[in-house]
Amino acid sequence: MVSRIVKVAPFDLVVFGGTGDLAYRKLFPALFRRFHDGQFSDGTRIIGAARHDYGREAFRETVAKALRQFALEAIKDADLDAFLELVDYVSLDIGSDAGWNMLAERLPEDANEVRAFYLATGPDRFGAVAAQLAAYGLITPGSRIIVEKPIGRDAASAAKINDALGAVFAENQIYRIDHYLGKETVQNLMALRFANALFEPLWNSGHIESVEITVAETIGVEGRGAYYETSGALRDMVQNHLLQLLCLVAMEPPAAFESDAVRDEKLKVLKALAPIDASNYEACVVRGQYRAGASATGAVPGYPEDVGNPGTHVETFVALKVFVNNWRWAGTPFYLRTGKRLPKRVSELIVSFRNVRHSIFGPEVKILPTRLVVRLQPDEGIKLWLMLKEPGAGGMRMRHVPLDMNFAEAFQIYAPEAYERLLMDVIRGNATLFMRRDEVEAAWAWIDPIREAWNQSPLEPRFYLAGTWGPASATALVERDGRSWYEESN
């Protein structure tokens, strides 16, 4: 199968923080692959901007090194050289006027109509960059600004950042990126629901018994200890990734697959989330912290050793039981969990349907629930677990078996990485997969009372050994409802 490549208009992309880890690991490889596939038009330019005192050629050498290390395929020298011809660099200081005149010279008034500014920086610099772009007259009608999560640390700080961005850019020019929404399987969740008559009539609490969302990592904080000590799993993962996935599962059908229509429905879900606060926190939330244990690579230290803080109370694991208080989902629990140093790296959604009302096969045949499993990473794909009869004579022997669709095998084409799709969506002006201001602030408004309940609670994070599935209380969270977390062996 051949994927049809649609070129985008020529654009200028300025990457602030262009010498950082995100730029080298994700952004430049994503841009190279889109260039390699022929998606760029003549005249496109990519400009790195950072404090390092690089010249153009020195910066190109660092980009070439990153592409050879992080791109997924072998790179031909000719392709690499052609891509690097698009790459330029400006040394500047976000907090002062140093270098901004040079950037302005690289972006004259007659530059490309589409001008994108990617802020691969900490959120504390977002407002300053926006203000400098305005001060130097770099914002055009075709400008867009792209900002990474986290957008703030709570509702108040998120509103402050949004105010700073909104003072310079119109809301339709602001692209708040969550790379999870760029994954092919996440988008296929919407196709699965809204393009197939099989699922949407059953997509409600009358037929769905529970929903589970798991985002598990095998790694620890990996050098991000300073950031993680101010964040924790709730802010780092739940407020954005997991809540966005929950919204896509739970939202009502939008009027059209169009940016504001989709985001309107996601906002309704966020506003319908049942509150979790000091009154119900202990029944709905488990927080944990990994301690020394083992991973696939051998023995690993605990989180306090990783961050050099023996007394830290920051959570590296969170499990929640969440309800969506509306007509579609009343009474159906959504179980969310995420953590570091877990046994497997996996991100998946599990929709468990209610059992048949009456089994005709007698009590000796155990009927397991129909389950839809959408795996986001690794090995993106979709499984539908069904009860089927085993072949052969000798009675009705039933087995729980999957109808299994692996994306790589089914389509036999390269599936773009999330950043590839999202960057091209920015250039096209398609904001469907990006968060709107009211979404971000509604998510924080739901998260903040959980943080406040933690601060008031005498309970510390429950410890769990690295390489296990979190604290025992996370298992109890679902087992007291007569359920269990999904495992591949089910």
- CA dist., res. 233 & res. 223, Å (int): 15
Dist CA 434 CA 181 (whole Å): 8
Q: What's the predicted TM-score (pTM) here? A: 0.91
**For residue 179, what pLDDT is reported?**
87
* Mean of pLDDT values over 128-134: 95
Alpha carbons 244 and 180: distance in angstroms, whole number: 8
Residue 177 and residue 26 in contact, taking contact as beta carbons nearer than 8 Å: no
Is residue 410 predicted with pLDDT exceeding 70?
no
Look at residue 180 in the predicted model and tell me its pLDDT.
Answer: 83
pLDDT at residue 185 in the model: 80
Strand blocks (E) in 218-301:
285-291, 293-295, 298-300
When pLDDT is averaged across residues 153-171 and rounded to a whole number, the result is: 94
DSSP-assigned beta bridge partners for residue 216 = 339, 346
Distance, CA of 441 to CA of 166 (rounded, Å): 14
Of 241, 313, 358, 400, the active-site residue reads: 241
Which pair of structure tokens corresponds to residue 362? 């007698």
Identity of the amino acid at 309: N
Per the annotation, the verdict on 313 as an active-site residue is: no
> Which is nearest to 398 in space by CA: 350, 352, 362, 357?
362
For β-strands 298-300 and 317-323, DSSP reports them as unpaired
Per-residue pLDDT reduced to its tens digit, 33-59: 999 988 999 999 999 999 999 999 999
SS3 34: helix
Cis omega (within 30 of 0) for bond into 201: no
Say what the pLDDT of residue 32 is: 94
- Residue 447: is it exposed, middle or buried by C-beta count within 10 angstroms (0-12/13-18/19+)? buried
Whether residue 465 has pLDDT greater than 90: yes
Of the chain, the percentage scoring pLDDT greater than 90 comes to 63
Work out the average pLDDT over 398-427. 81
pLDDT in tens, 53-77: 999 999 999 999 999 988 767 778 8
What does each C-alpha distance from 35 to 1, 119, 235, 422, 471 come to in angstroms? Answer: 20, 21, 34, 14, 45
Residue 402: what pLDDT? Answer: 86
Whole-number pLDDT of residue 490: 41
Please name the residue that has the structure tokens 């994503």: 30
What is the distance between the alpha carbons of residues 460 and 159, in angstroms, rounded to a whole number? 29
Radius of gyration of the chain (CA): 24
Taking a C-beta distance cutoff of 8 angstroms, is the pair 144, 429 a contact?
Answer: yes
Tell me how far CA of residue 108 lies from CA of 51, 105, 139, 142, 354, in angstroms.
22, 6, 11, 14, 61
User: Strands 381-389, 45-50: parallel, antiparallel or unpaired by DSSP?
Assistant: unpaired
- Of 28-42, 289-303, 320-334, 395-409, the range with the lowest mean pLDDT is 395-409
d(CA 240, CA 230): 16
Instruction: Please give the angle made by the CA atoms of 15, 21 and 27, to the nearest 5 degrees.
Output: 45
Digit-coded pLDDT (tens) for 179-221: 888 888 888 888 888 988 888 899 999 999 999 999 999 999 8
List CB contacts of 484: < 8 A, sequence separation 6 or more. 475, 478
